[in-house]
Chains A and B, each alone.
Chain A
């Protein structure tokens, strides 16, 4: 099937350009871009001058399978992703049980067929995410794991971690770390400072993140492993990352959109939908991290989609579960940074699509001839008020409920097939 998308603003995150033109889709791939006439038999879709960008590659999505399917299934996550312009989900292994054997990985790979968008899987770095023994990294790679992560569990034993990293290096596997000093951050539900002190919420010094990064960077230098920090959220951690990159270490870093769009004061009167891991930071940190995304120091922005049911959030703040859903709000939340003038649209899609795809060795994330036709058509200016009960996700724990947002997804294509919109 041949489709010509005409009259679009083409967002190219590689060239960092926005141009007006058309995109031709053939055989599930982007066949050509620019000004062209429709080939014979092509379906013509007028984009009405809206933005066409590579579909989002959302790295770090929690799907509740296995173990918590009532919170999110592959099907509901996929529908939610399609509605949010996410064409590739990279799922987290912090399920119950963890995805730490080829057998569980095969199970979720089969289950993922229910999703209308592409799904890749990460596997656990240590068995049961316990930090004691490495998983069968080789078998898991053969079964299709794209990266290895213990989620927000930090491997505390550096001997275990150094062995796992050395082994992973020999196989060329990508390892993802959660940079937090486990001692300092134990029991914390907010970031140290005036706000947490006033509210009486147990808090962690932001230095815990830098300590986590410093430790991991030493191990990266020692082992030479390919490494990615899932979330760097504090300004004090950035110089260490910058030095490591300048010294040629094979290291990248991400951040969740919530840490770029919100700060600690949004917790307000103990609103548990704003309880995240790591906790929301100060406004100074938020501003520094937005600048780091603009400069490219922070490579990847994702939703860190973490579905939680009502019961696990309707609790006192300290006891409530942490995490927020984000597949459907990732794009409109990112548009805040576009409308504030902090980031351009190509910069946003570099962090949402191009960089994560490149880092994971996926062909997606580009708006170029020959790339898969995974596309999102969106209107960056369309305003709406978010009602959490309209979300397609099974869980409705979004911090943006009732928020005025701008940026609506009009259509989403995966491999040239429309999975959302009309």
Chain B
């Protein structure tokens, strides 16, 4: 079994073997989740704390459900409204929680690198649920699982990632993962929303959406992150939709069997036409949500195994 890491902070540190082992294990959880009795006990007795320094409904619910289905005791801390407002630093919050001996910490934070900082201060497993515009590894893994199930493989595909790349951690994690798995990645965005130097990651850059979608197997739309923008990246939402919103006309440039993805929540009529989003022949957006729970169960299962192995080794060391 691959995947020996203590934490899951990003895709950057995973090998293609790690990624495959997560996806394979997640497949078994997809089956479990479709049963009436969805209970497993691999995290029984373990404590999972979800710390969301940024408001989130979907991801937090997905992690909560994943933990509960694996039998963990799950606690949600809405840190956005609590001690941080009283001036406590991130590290102090982390140390406080650490003293309660959690086994898994699921963290989302608005600053890039904040989860790495937190992981260096605690002795449980830390799962990055999104840090600033850096990484969102479980999203990339669930996207990979969705693609693999729809296309039968997760290599040699042409994947177009469209929209607000600059502010998107989803784009970064996907770019890294798809590159590691040997796919052709295209980034499509207005130049103001394209991060500088990104072509050096080995992807193709387009500001013409039709040209970028030409022959794509997968069309991955991104949400326009209005909350991360400090003004003036696009002239208006209607012009953005006209040039970069996914509608039937633009989608016809992609391969006829191309699938449409979106990490949610969607801004209908801004980056994606409602009809496309609801087209069950093209859109796998609901499937992504389903895969999200399975992938998060797989990630927590693997991290828990590593944690047990590590603690077991320590215990043996004490007895000797």
Chain A residues within 8 Å of B, Cβ to Cβ: 186-187, 192-201, 203, 205, 269-270, 311, 314-319
Contacts and interface: CB of A to CB of B under 8 A. Distances in A.
B132 A318 contact: yes
B193 interface: no
A397 to B, nearest CB: 15
Given A198-B172, A200-B134, A270-B117, A318 B112 contact: yes
Given A314-B117, A316-B112, A318-B111, 10 more contacts: A193-B196, A198-B12, A199-B112, A199-B113, A201-B112, A270-B112, A314-B89, A314-B91, A316-B111, A318-B112
B276 to A, nearest CB: 29
Given A200-B132, A269-B113, A311 B89 contact: yes
A316 B196 contact: no
Residue of B12, B109, B111 contacting most chain A CB atoms (<10 Å)? B111
B42 interface: no
Interface stretch (B60-68, B197-205, B240-248, B266-274): B197-205
Given A192-B196, A197-B196, A200-B132, A269 B201 contact: no
Contacts of B109: 316
Contacts of B172: 197-198, 200
Residue of A193, A314, A316 contacting most chain B CB atoms (<10 Å)? A316
A194 to B, nearest CB: 4
A133 B299 CA distance: 59
B47 interface: no
7 contacts: A197-B197, A200-B132, A270-B117, A314-B117, A315-B90, A316-B90, A318-B132
Contacts of A186: 230
A318 B114 CA distance: 9
Contacts of B135: 200
Interface string B163-183: 000000100100000000000
A318 B195 CA distance: 17
B133 interface: yes
Interface string B1-19: 0000000000010000000
A44 B134 CA distance: 61
Pairs A-B, 3 closest by C-beta atoms: A270-B113, A316-B111, A200-B134
A269 B131 CA distance: 13
Contacts of A318: 111-113, 132
B195 A197 contact: yes
A316 B113 contact: yes
A194 B113 contact: no
Given A192-B196, A198-B201, A318-B132, A269 B116 contact: yes
Given A187-B230, A318-B132, A193 B197 contact: yes
Interface residues of B, number: 25
B87 to A, nearest CB: 11
A194 B111 contact: no
Nearest to A203: B196
B197 A316 contact: no
Contacts of B114: 316
A315 B132 contact: no
Contacts of B195: 196-197
Contacts of B111: 316-319
A198 B109 CA distance: 17
B53 to A, nearest CB: 10
Nearest to B166: A197
Interface string B195-220: 11110110000000000000000000
A25 to B, nearest CB: 50
Contacts of B201: 194, 198
A200 B172 CA distance: 8
B196 A317 contact: no
A193 B200 CA distance: 9
Interface string B225-269: 000001000000000000000000000000000000000000000
Interface in B87-113: 89-91, 109, 111-113
B86 to A, nearest CB: 15
A364 B132 CA distance: 49
Contacts of B91: 314
A278 to B, nearest CB: 16
Contact of B133 (A194, A200, A319): A200
A197 B197 CA distance: 7
B264 to A, nearest CB: 20
Contacts of A187: 230
Residue of A187, A195, A198, A318 contacting most chain B CB atoms (<10 Å)? A198
Contacts of B113: 199-201, 269-270, 316-318
Residue of B112, B131, B134, B172 contacting most chain A CB atoms (<10 Å)? B112
B197 A200 contact: no
B196 A315 contact: no
A211 B198 CA distance: 24
Contact of B200 (A194, A203, A315, A319): A194
A205 B192 CA distance: 13
Contact of A192 (B117, B132, B133, B197): B197
Contacts of A317: 111-113
A206 to B, nearest CB: 10
Contacts of A197: 172, 195-198
Contacts of A200: 112-113, 131-135, 169, 172
A269 B117 CA distance: 9
Nearest to B109: A316
Contact of A205 (B89, B117, B196): B196
A316 B112 CA distance: 7
Contacts of A203: 196
A158 B179 CA distance: 48
Contacts of A201: 112-113
Interface in B101-144: 109, 111-114, 116-117, 131-135
A11 B190 CA distance: 56
B133 A316 contact: no
Contacts of B134: 199-200
Nearest to B12: A198
A192 B198 CA distance: 10
Contacts of B197: 192-197
Contacts of A316: 90, 109, 111-114, 117, 132
Contacts of B133: 200
Nearest to A311: B89
B116 A270 contact: yes
A43 B200 CA distance: 63
Contacts of A193: 196-197
Nearest to B167: A200
A205 B191 CA distance: 14
